[in-house]
Structure 1
């Protein structure tokens, strides 16, 4: 376990060095956040009775989404992991006395946390000072804030465990680019990146909430504002734990099978 913790710390520190990239991301996230909130205001004002969330909850959802986009986004992949499979450099990692799955999991988690760590504080600090119609509201209560932190941690792990399945698919195919692009588009839609899940029709929403994608950013962003609370929140936490356990078990088994049959091409 110590070697994976050390690997995690190494990649976490390495990721914190990219401050210029983080600054560019902060500017982009602010612009996108204002644009999304303005669009949601137009939707709300046109028919308040049909709006499924409060505007305060919507603003909090959007600002946290922008603050933690590097941590929860479906479009962020470690290019070095993908290239190591394609180029054959994974052979060096197979020679080490480590688990490829655990190594990639700790590396991917550290990269996401470091990228989000540089962006989230400036975005959230400014968001709480904005005018009321655009402001990031305070959490619904101390207990709700605790569950927000818990569900956020689980959401990161669920996201990484699903991304790991995409990495592992590269061990079975010549190139995982097609799978990666298809899954990225699917995740963007089903996680609530474009449209929060409460805005979908009832039956469709119920089916979407059972999928692993709903256990990613949808749960913590709604828990913070109190939009997801009580029995529904506990059900969502149970699903997060279920999908995390299931995908880690499946990923480990697929990775072990791939390691036994992997052929390294090149010379």
Structure 2
């Protein structure tokens, strides 16, 4: 556990040299979120809202989703494909630590950095503009838990994108598919339960829907008691899948001679 902490800490410190650039990016991201808020406000105000969501709910949802977007959209493939391309992954497999937990610890440091220098500044800006309200302490705890699950699931998905570089010559197709589903099914631009028809029902149960949708639901106070069921199930399934593909990839590297 101490080794994992040190890996995360090292990654966080390495990224500190870019903190001022990140703050500028955060300002740009805040502007994009503000534009989306204005679009939803203009579209929903004449009707008093959309579905079960009032205009105020939608404004809070879209603004908070923009805050979360910066921590549920990690580096493409967690940069695993770069290690595969250079051959360094054969050395990383030799480390006295599980490769999956090593990469996740490394990415955790990067995500904590994004939280401090992108998400929190954006949240403070939006808090001043939109007057966010949290109802209770228990809601705050549930919100934190749903955010942690969403970030973990997003990291697992991107890990699978990256580790697929061991089995294919190009991961861009997997990354494009994942990013498209992130934009459509994660709740970043629209609550997932507003998506129509069978597609909406399928996407609402996909792992991408766990990225932001549960956290945003808790944030606006529109959630039910089983909101954690799907994220917990996907966390378990994706963890096993990542570990399984890691073992297969390791065997593939060993058989091919590194």
My pick for the range that moved more, 191-200 or 111-120, is: 191-200
Counterpart for residue 119 of structure 1? 118
Partner of 1:46: 46
The answer to whether structure 1 residue 238 and structure 2 residue 229 are counterparts is yes
CA contact (8 A) 1:158 1:243 kept: yes
Q: What is the RMSD of the two structures over their aligned residues, measured on CA atoms?
A: 2.3
Contact 1:169–1:176 under 8 Å retained in 2: yes
Would you say 1:5 and 2:9 are equivalent positions?
A: no
Aligned match of 1:162: 157
Does 83-92 or 59-68 show the bigger shift? 59-68
Q: Which moved more, 1:250-259 or 1:136-145?
A: 136-145
| Structure-1 separation of matches of 2:49 and 2:68 | 30
Q: Following the alignment from structure 1 to structure 2, what is the Cα–Cα distance between the partners of residues 209 and 44? A: 22
- Dislocated runs of 4+, deviation >6 Å: 263-267
Structure 2, gaps ≥5 residues long? none
Is 1:194 paired with 2:189? Answer: yes
- What's the TM-score, normalizing by structure 2? 0.90
Aligned length: 258
Bigger Cα displacement from structure 2, 218-227 vs 87-96: 87-96
Tell me which of 139, 146, 165 is aligned to 1:144.
139
Q: Alpha-carbon deviations, 1:200-238, whole Å to 9, x = none?
A: 23654333221111111111011111022x33xxx2201
Q: How far 1:159 moved relative to its partner?
A: 0.9
Asked whether the equivalents of residues 63 and 136 of structure 1 are also in contact (C-alpha less than 8 Å), the reply is no
Describe the superposition over 1:95-118 as per-residue Cα deviations: whole angstroms up to 9, x where unpaired.
Answer: 322221111111122212211211
1:195 counterpart SS class: coil
Q: Secondary structure at the match of 2:161?
A: helix
- Of residues 48-57 and 242-251 in structure 1, the stretch that sits farther from structure 2 once superposed is 48-57
Match of residue 258, structure 1, among 249, 252, 257: 249
